[in-house]
Chains A and B, each alone.
Chain A
Amino acid sequence: GNSVTQMEGPVTLSEEAFLTINCTYTATGYPSLFWYVQYPGEGLQLLLKATKADDKGSNKGFEATYRKETTSFHLEKGSVQVSDSAVYFCALTSYTGTASKLTFGTGTRLQVTL
């Protein structure tokens, strides 16, 4: 079946540091890939997405490239801010007859300090 593997957290960085959160996946067919972010006490919000190989999703300074050859979708940001502290989830869609479903990784907690 489909699965998503994320790097273990928590990840602690100083403000303005470079961020990479690794995500690899196993899936049949051609899934779409997503990064969601969860701020404390809130639900998940879509951060970015990519729908086919070599697509790059980007939003709020975050980027991720859909790499089919390495089955990866790593999240990067050049300079993190304290306000980026949150839990980040990598996810992929799978289609089963009548509906698409999201398969999530376990989440990576990011803590950014001054």
Chain B
Amino acid sequence: GQQLNQSPQSMFIQEGEDVSMNCTSSSIFNTWLWYKQDPGEGPVLLIALYKAGELTSNGRLTAQFGITRKDSFLNISASIPSDVGIYFCAGRSGGGADGLTFGKGTHLIIQP
């Protein structure tokens, strides 16, 4: 089946630093989504991207849908302690209701 390669696996940063993570695929996706998952909770949608080349912001978060439709990145500016968690990229290859293919996640750790 399809796989998403998400990197880095983990990031150790200082509070206030900017963060960048990305996701690549060997297949084309029609939708890219970025989720955050806290311990003991389900994933929560951060940003949804629907068109190749689209750049979307949500507060301190910015994500882009790659031109080739095979990649996406997420940037977090000026990180704060509550940004700690696991970030997942997810892609939808078919129509608007098809199931999602997830990456393995990026574990963000903020050092005091």
A in complex with B: no
B interface, CB within 8 angstroms of A: none
